[in-house]
Every structure is written in C-alpha cells, then in structure tokens.
Structure 1
Amino acid sequence: MKRKLTTKFIEGQKPNPSKRLDFRDELMSGLVLRISTSGTKTFCLHKRINGKMRRLTIGHFPVVSLAEARERVRQVLYEIETGRFEDRTGVEVETRPTLGDVIPDYIEKHAKVHNRDWKRKEALLAKFTTLHGQRIDEIKRADVVKACDVIHKSAPVSANRALAHLKHLMGWCVERGMIEANPISGMKPLSKEKPRERVLTDNELGALWAVCGDEGYPFGDCMKLLMLSGQRRAEVAEMRWSELDLEKRLWTLPSQRAKNGRQHTVPITDAMMDVLRRVPRFLGSDYVFTTTGKSPVSGFGRLKDRLDRSLPEGTEPWIIHDLRRTMSTNMAMLGVPQPVTEALLNHKTGVVSGVAAIYNVYSYADEKREALCKWNECIEEITKTKNDPQPVGCGDARSLGRV
C-alpha cells in the first residue's frame, strides 16, 4: 500500500494479527514501513542491487524516527547509484527473497518458457497476496492453508488451481536452492471438483449465434468460429493469417500454440469461410482477431458478461469451453466415430500418439472434414431465421446423420 508516511500515522497504526502490513512512502522512493503481526514497526529499503531485489533493514520505530529513516535511505540510494554501496555500510541486507520477489522470476524463467497459458498462472499466484511479503524460506504449510481458505470462500475452483501452481513454484525453488524442502508437498486440494457436463441446447446455440452476430468483429466473429470449429478459445483468439491456407481450406495450428504441444490441422468448412471472408485485415498484422493489429483480442470475461446479458432470461450458466463439449456430444449423435472427434478436438487420447503422431499430422483428414461439415450443417439448421418456410431443427439433422 502506497501513501505519504507521517509520524502521527505510524504511531496510530495497529498490527493485523493475521498478516504483516507494508506501507510504501510516497515521498522517499524505496522506503517501506513494515508492521509485524506482533506490532513491531520496522523501516526498510526495497531496492534492486546488482540485479537482485533486496530488502535492507534501516531500523525500528520509534528508536529511528521517520526523518532519520528517510535520510538514511537517501544516503544508501546515493551509495548504490554511485557504485559505492558495500555491506559495511552498516545496513543489514536480507538476501532471502519474498514470495512476491520469486513469482516474477518464476514466471519469466519457467512459466513463459514452458507454459503457453502463463498469464493465467501469474494471475492465480497473485491471489496469495497475504504471502507476497513473506520470505520464501519462512512460508509454512499453515500459512498456505490460511491463504487458500480466503481464496476458497469466493472461488473454490480457483483455490485448487492456485494451490497447484504454488506447489510447482515451491518445487522450482527447491531445485534452485532457495529453500531446502517444499512445505506444501502432498497438500490436497481444498475441495473435490465435479467434471463439467454442460451441453448447450439447440435453442441456446441459436440464441448465442444471434447475439454474436450483433456483437460483430472481433469478438462476435471469433465466437462464431469457436462454435463452428470446436477448437480451444486461445487457439482461435490467437489465430494467424499465416496459419490459414484458404485455397486448400486448411488451418494448421503449430505445436507452439497447441495446448498439448502437437501440431494440429483443422479443415475450413464453407461456414467457417463465410466468417473469415467478413473479417477485416489489419495492414502489416498477422492476427485474424485483433483491435490493435499488434496483439490478439483479450478480455473474454467482459465479453461473457455482455453475452449473458443479451441471452434469453433463464439461460442456464455456461462457460465458453462448454462449446467444445457441445460439439463433441452432437457429433456422437450425428454418428461421427469417437476417434475422429478426438482427432478434431486435438485430444492427447486421440487416434495417434508417440512417434506415430509425428508421421500422422494429417491423420483422418477426410474424416475430420466430413465430420466438421456435418456439425456446421447442424448449426446452420439451428440458426435459420423464423421466416424460413420449413425450418429443420438440428434434431432432424442428427436423425438423418444416424440413418
């Protein structure tokens, strides 16, 4: 928390028995007042020295006054800037990083290298706000349990995911010698998760398609392509023109962008082509869905809120990922073999794996195209206007598929 520190303010601050408090001074850069759970008030300097973020203890209040702390910080900052800072300055240096120091390092050195969805990991680790100021070697299992309980109250599933990411971060710290052992190794999730079973009905799909039409480019068109292709949200949202072969009607998703790290090909149907033809192309940009030309679209949480407000009252709760399950379920009703559906969804449990997968990038190409065309025809029937003299429901199309 950042504010202008005053002696009156410091004297009036009471300790929080559940967590330490940090107040950053607005007048002196780097000066932090830390109030422990027991009430000890300590002046510190937070500063990057020789490439590492350090916390330097200045002294305890009121033995060291606010004015003296600011002057001492000014002296140390001068010594650092002029290259004359040494340990013999008399200022105690805490070399052990806090969790707040470790998270950016972990994201940069590990998550960005190994996890395509590293931003989600970063956001979940940010939920451990009560632990960010605690030294990484002082974090105990009980501390994590208490922090997870706070997250669990408002977001049970997020608490499980956040815990999983924190476990991995702690293991990474062990490997790098920051701590001797992982304090939360073997810690179980706070709640048991039920696998989602939500499948959108024909009426819900039709309503969603109409709402996406009103939404327009880029989000509405992106959502339509999600419905038609059955691919993952990030894979469609980050689609590049260079991945599309419009002449051969093929979208090749590179292994770097696929969730399972395996190159994937998706047939481009007539319905998908209709969407792509309407998409404006930004000069010098490779992104299909973008507002700036420099980055793909983002902010799907706000989009989901808009869609929910526009959908008919009484629509059951749903998430964007449910569209993949909806396609998979309908394909089974259309008589599409499960291996073909798995290949279309690019699941690891699909037709090929291991070495065979390397030589079967285009496995089931014809079958995938035929299956996706069936599904797109089904959506077309669902989304026909009420003015159609003889509307055919998707149920009828599925019956024809089974026959």
Structure 2
Amino acid sequence: MVRIRQLSALKVKQNLEPGMYPDGLGLYLQVGPGNAKSWIYRYRTNGKLRDMGLGPAHSVTLAEARERADECRRARQAGLDPIEERLKKKQAAHATAAHAITFQECAATYIESHQAGWKNTKHAAQWTATLQTYVYPVFKNTPVADIDRELVLKVLRPIWNEKTETAVRVRGRIEKVLDWARINDYRHGENPARWKGFLDNLLPRRAKVAAVKHHAALPFGQLPAFMRDLRDEASVAARAFEFCILTATRTNETLGMRWDEIDEAAGLWTIPAQRMKAGRDHRVPLSRRALAILTEMRQIRMSDYVFPGGKERRPLSGMVFSMKLRRLKRTNVTAHGFRSTFRDWAAEQTDFPNEVVEMALAHTISNKVEAAYRRGDLFEKRRQLAEAWAAYCGGQSSDEVQVHRAL
C-alpha cells in the first residue's frame, strides 16, 4: 500500500495519464479496467513512444519487473529495440519448432483435417497407403522444411514410367502436404512437388509415358446376351448389377442407394449431392424394368439400403460386381465400363441428342457459358432414353425400341 501511494505521488508530479504509476527509469505499473495491474517498460525510439509489456502484477513481482526493465535498458544501450528483439526471439523459437516437424507429421495432420470432406471413405486410407509405400521410405522423418526437389524426384523417378498413374497421384499428394506446411509457416519458398513450371521441366508428361487407360467396356452388341445371363441369376448382387447398368450410374451410387431416395410412384431416383461425383443432386428416371427390380427388392427388404449386403445394416460390398463378372467369365470388362457401353449405344444406335446422353451420365458441362444458361436436367427426354436403353438391354432391336430421332 505504501508503494502504491509513493507511485501515485510520483505520477502526480510527472503529470502522467490515468492508470500509469511510475517506478522510475521507464518502469510503470499500469492499472486497467477491473483494477487489472501489469508492468510496462516505456521508452522512446526514433521519436516514437513505445510501451513494452513485462507481465501481469499478480504473477510478476516488483523485483522481477525491475530486472526485466534493466534488461530492456541494456538492450537500448546496445542500440537495440527491446520489442523488436523479443519478436526476433519468438520467431527464432517458432522456426526451431517448425524445423522439428516432420513430413509424416504434417501429412497425418493434413489427412485428419481433410478426411471429413472426402466423399469416399476409402480416400484417407488410399492417401496413407501411397505415402507409406512410396514417400515415407525416402523422407518419412525428414523435417518438412528440408524437403527439396531432389528428395521429391527420388520418390517419383523410380515409378514415373512404370506406375505413371500412381506416380501422378503421389506427386499431387506431396504437393498438397507441402502447401499445407507452407500456409502453416512450417516451410517457406517454392513447392518442390509443383508440376506446372517446375517438375514438368524435369519429368516427361504422363501422356508420353503411359496412355490413359479407360475402363474396359463390353461392346454394346454383346450386351443383350450378357443381360440374359445376368437375369438368370437370382441374387441381390445380380439385381443390383442389372439396375446399375439400366440406370447407367456409377457402382458406388447404386450400391449406396437407400429407399428414401426412391419415389416409385413418380419413377424417380434422386441421388443426393454428397454421393455424387459432381457434388450436386442427380435425378434418375427409372424404366419399367428398373422399377420391377425395386419391386423385387422391396419384397425382401431388410434395411434402409435397397441392395443390402450380408450384414443387414450395410450395403453390398464394392467388389460384388467384379466377382459377378468373373463368374460370368467376363474378366475382360469392368462394371464401370458399362457406362461406356451405354454411351456407345446411344451414339451409334440412336438419335438422342448428345446433351441428353451426357446428362444421363451425370457428366458436368465443360463449356462454362453453356453451363451457365442451362437450368434444367432434360428429365423427360432422359426418361424416354432410359426406356429405350432398357428395351435394348432386354433384347429388343433398335427398330422395336422405336428410338426417337427428333427430340
């Protein structure tokens, strides 16, 4: 109490602003709102008055505050700015801590923070698997700040020509992790995994070393016979496969279909945005045959999934279509390839406009101007296309289907 009165008397003498009580030689006790007290070292540099906080009075004693103020004065005598010197020390400490964080630690944090937004639950596992296989053997425990071009190339060069598609994914994942590290101040400068303007000058383009491999597709002329074989099999997997082909949807879209997505009265299946590659709702018109399959499945309904797996609360496994193809001795094609079969049939056997077919496949419109002006989804025209496709899958000829030629 005596000390506060002494500081108050000195304050009056020096005509200081309210709440500032001098101890001498630049040290002040500052009393703020709610009677909060803290120590301040006040000095002038380049004509500018600066206040440097030395800590709250409840945890820093007067003796400690005077010692800290002495350190500030010594810095000033050496021609240094105490505030700037403290900032430099903090930055140095941060740099030391940043240099200690490894690429693997950054990658783990990146995956953890992003996996909630990845639609495919297997994506995080794929990320981890590729990093463990190709990246970590080279720079698993290397500080992320030390990752350079040579280390990145050491990962990519052995697989660039032989496993090009995998190498491209690995490069992209390294780039994303390093970008994340830079944004979080764990590294600085150029990203050594960047392709355009950097690695594209050091590695051959993907098209030069590996042609893009499309999903193997069944020629549409062989489709009716395949569908007959598929319909002869009485299983949930066979019905799911047939339904997937009839709707020209992706495998995961069909396998994940739930009953609350179906409006059987309207002949409509609405796939929610979170399950779509394009990230928006997709309406699928259902042909009579597709609706008949749903009627079969409703009679044995045991869960919220239309095509339940062995465990009632889960859908069929993503491998069931591949297994079905093996049983039917069609190992030269893929389930996804039937979308190409549909596309080829529509182009060569019908006069349905291209935009109707593309909309049926839920492809995004590459032309930005066209995309901006198109509001509808050509649903009724796609319904006619769906019936024509179902009829062809059922063995009817193009003439019997009576394909519409002037939609």
Q: TM-score, normalised by structure 2?
A: 0.61
Q: Which residue of 2 aligns with 1:251?
A: 269
Q: Which residue of 1 aligns with 2:287?
A: 269
Partners of 1:237 and 1:289 within 8 A in 2: yes
1:128 maps to 2:131 = yes
Partners of 2:305 and 2:315 within 8 A in 1: yes
Runs (4 or more) in structure 1 with deviation over 6 Å come to: 92-95, 350-353
CA deviation after TM superposition for structure 1 residue 330, in Å: 1.1
Q: Among 313, 322, 325, which residue is 2:340 paired with?
A: 325
Distance 1:198 1:162 in 2: 24
Distance 1:150 1:322, change over 3 A: same
Q: How many residues align?
A: 292
Q: Which residue of 2 aligns with 1:234?
A: 252
1:108 maps to 2:101 = no
Distance 1:365 1:331 in 2: 16
Q: Alpha-carbon deviations, 1:245-280, whole Å to 9, x = none?
A: 011111111222211112211111111112222225
Secondary structure of residue in 1 paired with 2:270: strand
Greater Rg over alpha carbons, structure: 2
1:143 maps to 2:157 = no
Question: Where does structure 1 lack aligned partners over 5 or more consecutive residues?
Answer: 1-91, 382-391
> Which residue identity is paired with 1:325?
S
Distance 2:305 2:164 in 1: 35
Within a 5 Å distance, the mapping from 1:3-402 to structure 2 comes to: 96-113=100-117, 115-117=118-120, 119-120=122-123, 122-129=125-132, 130-132=134-136, 133-135=140-142, 136-152=144-160, 155-180=163-188, 181-186=190-195, 187-188=199-200, 190=206, 191-194=209-212, 196=214, 199-202=217-220, 204-210=222-228, 212-213=230-231, 216-279=234-297, 282-283=301-302, 285-291=303-309, 292-300=311-319, 303-308=321-326, 310-311=328-329, 317-332=332-347, 333-349=349-365, 360=376, 363-381=377-395, 392=396, 394=397
Partners of 2:227 and 2:242 within 8 A in 1: yes
Distance 2:150 2:239 in 1: 47
Question: Where does structure 2 lack aligned partners over 5 or more consecutive residues?
Answer: 1-95
Q: Alpha-carbon deviations, 1:161-209, whole Å to 9, x = none?
A: 3333332333233223333242201234554433638542245424543
Distance 1:150 1:272, change over 3 A: farther
Partners of 1:378 and 1:398 within 8 A in 2: yes
Identity within the alignment, %: 23
Distance 1:330 1:211 in 2: 19
Distance 1:268 1:227 in 2: 12
CA deviation after TM superposition for structure 1 residue 152, in Å: 4.9
RMSD: 3.4
CA deviation after TM superposition for structure 1 residue 377, in Å: 0.6
Distance 1:339 1:329, change over 3 A: same
